[in-house]
Structure 1
């Protein structure tokens, strides 16, 4: 088997003795992400890190002038992985702008679709992409001493997952040959089928609309979903203890490993899974219905939950440019001066943002990325929040808020309890995710496993609610609406990788301004206008090196583990910008064949 990780794409020693190493592009993710580092091999530490993206995001430009009702179909194409998250968020923003409240059953179906997407995407990323970073082949290449110890270390939860030693777990993760690697691929099929049952097709839904869904809801539909869901629930009873054993082992085998990818606890969650019994999509009520979500919105600073108020969260968003390839919009039009509650809206808020691309040569000392720098202003500081890859922030915020209490999941104020019922081969299991000490690489990955179980448990609740509606004869899934001539809307949800917001301004019945902000811009941004590094940069910069290879054979495995722990998805669409007045023409010769 060939090397499971590439060597750095460039290496150079500086006059200060630091070795410049770049990984560009990062493998096993979508998008042109480059990580540029300076490494002190004497002290065994990453001295500096810069995160770059060579992909321009242009949706905010070509959304202008479009029919607002097309927004979710267009923005779904932002990403080929989490397109449904964008479609859902866009429908939320449209519901607000149009003043429409979907029927309960419509919202339960949306929740079931999104739960299936979390299960699908987290499973395939965790087991078939991140898992490779901890497999036998990888550890043999980078830390053979750790592998030797793993082969001699009994797995504490072997009775739950079936692997006797940590080394056995690592072997099961080997790409294409590992038993668990192959099993996870089969599981991803079930979850994708669950998604398609609710939203029509993956990954660009055909059944989502403002006002509800076009899905025909029947008992058979729910039965087909639940049958697959229960197989997944059984799978999670094995996966959670298996990953706990693996991740705990790295802490034990490599003292100090908690510092890999560790950064200040600055976590953002915009909430997920609406409760249709409380959510009316009215901005004036957003504080209340936001807190009724089954994943609680929140901002966690230094381990403390500073707000669960979606209105406060919304008003605190700022878009800084810093080291990105754009001109500022200080002298351009302000679209929204006050929100529907009368609160002032900042010029740097997404409602008022203008996108002015300025292509230029990459300069790591100045401008070096197409990613802008979203920040959350708490009244004093522009905080470089991250999503913890999505699950870490979601579980942390939900746990501390203590607002979720249904049969399958409860948030306790310091943990999240997940109750998985009896399945075909295993009895009921209670899992508990406890707020960790660190926001680091291992805990981001651990949270991804627990959140798969959380999403599955929530889906059981949503399916029961949907069946109750169907059996009561309340089968309406969509509500009529009219597009106003003037209006604004904002949608908040959690994409797989974390916070997702869509902000829309309507004038003369058309889109006048539209800005989607997925999780990766929050995580992958460069240094901002104040010199504050983005989360990737901050998490990698300063982390120790545990790899056993010497400088000449250095792979950068812990740097790769850290970046991938955030679950990067750089492009959210690949676009080309030609500037004003320029056209691109593709001319085929008479002998050329053209395929669609």
Structure 2
């Protein structure tokens, strides 16, 4: 028996299904070598199937934003915005500048809300005193003796004090984060009417009445949370830098090849006309620059290139192939050929079956980006790290509050109640050998910085909104006609990463519709070429620093890896009864209703 065969016999199977503290039915199945303290194998699964791409067909396209908002109970507004972008391209519609600015303010509030809630009330539980005491008591002892470098900003003397502040339900910061998430929801509702399914967002504009108090109320709330935003960045830096020092080699936890995708966020109303023919230009004017990063380098920031490179592979998922189906779109509006595996041409053919890790094992398909030679398994890094990385390298964002520097992003925040004005610097992360680094800690670190980025951009949008109001330019809607036939695509950033909606209209009805949020990109199973999805790739091979043995093993390093991507499974898969089956609710005779 060879050494490798012996080791495989000694592997211990460990699974977490469902993963807690996230929405959805994500399962992670691993084989662990406790001798080498390393994950030898990983499969990620989703047992949930829904089906928006099926039941959207035949609907009035103007309803698409309201329907697709229900894909997710967390980032529904991101779907509404992205759907409206796709519709506006198909209709040839352009909202007035103030309407676009109102949407941007709403989306900025959503980023602040969701990232704060997830980072401080879910992710940071994995780094709180209670968890670290259970999984790495030696690390906690060192944290008690380690002074926090930024104590003058956040007020916690030691690293252990920060960890205690994040203890669930009791910690000071944990409770503060819940308050901030409430305030940012209020900011969101001022712009988009209702959280999480907007009531005032439509193709062509918004229904929000642009009173001056609408924006001053938003601004007062924004100023009220700035202390927390600044302190959160300092606390995240202190804790994550401490982990690198306390556990040498921890940079390898959750590390994978740097393959990042960002589709861009916050349209610039002075440049965006929603025409596909000019999408390369107005895409680069977004306030978060789209881009594909391969091995740390920017491959493209052209939305046309990004669109044409998208491929949906079946891989190890529960679907039949549509390779022989008639394509909906053979060429884009610029005359470029469109692949049969592009979202415009996808046909969803679900095939329920038993899970088999040697065959098919998930309801999530395998989106990939084709660079002409390889189908790249891009991830979103949970959203922020890809957004910051792409914006940094593109060097196109430059305003009074945010500036891309080529190797990072500079974020300026004004004076707040307790803290002076601050300029925060997010730098593209590298390991000690100078290689670009995308791992669990850097994905999490970027999230705190992007909350600051969103807060800074909110000041840009507020200035722009008040400029239009003071000039009397308060138009918020432009009318349009639904064409007989058209195609459209919307590109946006959901909170946790890339979001696209691809729309085909025929006979003024939806002929094909495919939303692709970040979850399918991140949670995809092995594709048709055997390439693992990002969750699988990041977990597989990761070293284990937990001090517990196999019997008490919590899998904390695995959980930190998976949660660093901000998983949200409802966006990954969709519901379908199929074959005319009918669901019936049976009532008990004891309640006086015996039929059914």
TM-score (norm 2): 0.96
Which one of the candidate residues 397, 411, 414 is aligned to 2:407?
414
**Aligned position for 1:9:** none
The question of whether the paired residues in 1 share the 8 Å contact of 2:50 and 2:576 is answered with no
User: Which secondary structure does the structure 2 equivalent of 1:124 belong to?
Assistant: helix
**Aligned position for 1:455:** 454
The question of whether the paired residues in 2 share the 8 Å contact of 1:80 and 1:572 is answered with no
**Aligned position for 2:339:** 346
Q: Are 1:508 and 2:501 matched, yes or no?
A: no
Alignment of 1:105-504 (within 5 A): 105-437=98-430, 438-504=437-503
**Aligned position for 2:520:** 521
User: Which secondary structure does the structure 1 equivalent of 2:21 belong to?
Assistant: coil
The question of whether the paired residues in 2 share the 8 Å contact of 1:419 and 1:457 is answered with yes
RMSD: 1.3
CA distance in 2, matches of 1:576, 1:473: 46
CA distance in 2, matches of 1:127, 1:478: 37
The question of whether the paired residues in 1 share the 8 Å contact of 2:364 and 2:573 is answered with no
CA distance in 2, matches of 1:180, 1:209: 37
CA distance in 2, matches of 1:471, 1:224: 16
**Aligned position for 1:559:** 558
The question of whether the paired residues in 1 share the 8 Å contact of 2:54 and 2:576 is answered with no
CA distance in 2, matches of 1:193, 1:573: 28
User: Which secondary structure does the structure 2 equivalent of 1:26 belong to?
Assistant: coil
Cα offset, 1:326, TM superposition: 0.2
CA change 1:306–1:278 in 2 (3 A) is same
**Aligned position for 1:97:** 90
CA distance in 1, matches of 2:242, 2:264: 32
The question of whether the paired residues in 2 share the 8 Å contact of 1:136 and 1:173 is answered with yes
**Aligned position for 2:71:** 78
**Aligned position for 1:541:** 540
The question of whether the paired residues in 1 share the 8 Å contact of 2:523 and 2:572 is answered with no
**Aligned position for 1:41:** 34
User: Which secondary structure does the structure 2 equivalent of 1:532 belong to?
Assistant: coil
CA distance in 2, matches of 1:512, 1:576: 18
Deviations 1:15-70 (A, max 9, x none): 71111111000000000000000000011100000000001130000000000000
CA distance in 1, matches of 2:355, 2:570: 18
CA distance in 2, matches of 1:243, 1:576: 38
The question of whether the paired residues in 2 share the 8 Å contact of 1:57 and 1:572 is answered with no
Deviations 1:70-101 (A, max 9, x none): 00000000000000000000000000000001
CA distance in 1, matches of 2:268, 2:143: 45
CA change 1:593–1:48 in 2 (3 A) is farther
CA distance in 1, matches of 2:43, 2:511: 34
Unmatched runs of 5 consecutive residues or more in structure 1: 1-12
Cα offset, 1:112, TM superposition: 0.2
The question of whether the paired residues in 2 share the 8 Å contact of 1:261 and 1:543 is answered with yes
Which one of the candidate residues 47, 50, 58 is aligned to 1:57?
50
User: Which secondary structure does the structure 2 equivalent of 1:326 belong to?
Assistant: coil
CA distance in 2, matches of 1:519, 1:184: 24
Unmatched runs of 5 consecutive residues or more in structure 2: 1-5, 431-436
CA distance in 2, matches of 1:192, 1:426: 23
Cα offset, 1:341, TM superposition: 0.3
Deviations 1:195-234 (A, max 9, x none): 0000000000000000010100011000000000111222
Cα offset, 1:579, TM superposition: 2.3
Deviations 1:527-567 (A, max 9, x none): 00000000000000001010000111110000000000000
Cα offset, 1:422, TM superposition: 1.2
CA distance in 1, matches of 2:550, 2:590: 52
Alignment of 1:564-583 (within 5 A): 564-572=563-571, 576-583=575-582
User: Which secondary structure does the structure 2 equivalent of 1:237 belong to?
Assistant: helix
The question of whether the paired residues in 2 share the 8 Å contact of 1:30 and 1:569 is answered with yes
Deviations 1:460-497 (A, max 9, x none): 00011001001100001110000001000000000000
User: Which secondary structure does the structure 2 equivalent of 1:327 belong to?
Assistant: coil
Cα offset, 1:332, TM superposition: 1.0
The question of whether the paired residues in 2 share the 8 Å contact of 1:390 and 1:496 is answered with yes
User: Which secondary structure does the structure 1 equivalent of 2:569 belong to?
Assistant: coil
Deviations 1:228-247 (A, max 9, x none): 01112222121111110011
Cα offset, 1:592, TM superposition: 3.2
Cα offset, 1:331, TM superposition: 1.2
The question of whether the paired residues in 1 share the 8 Å contact of 2:363 and 2:573 is answered with no
User: Which secondary structure does the structure 1 equivalent of 2:120 belong to?
Assistant: helix
CA change 1:21–1:14 in 2 (3 A) is farther
The question of whether the paired residues in 2 share the 8 Å contact of 1:31 and 1:570 is answered with yes
Cα offset, 1:591, TM superposition: 4.8
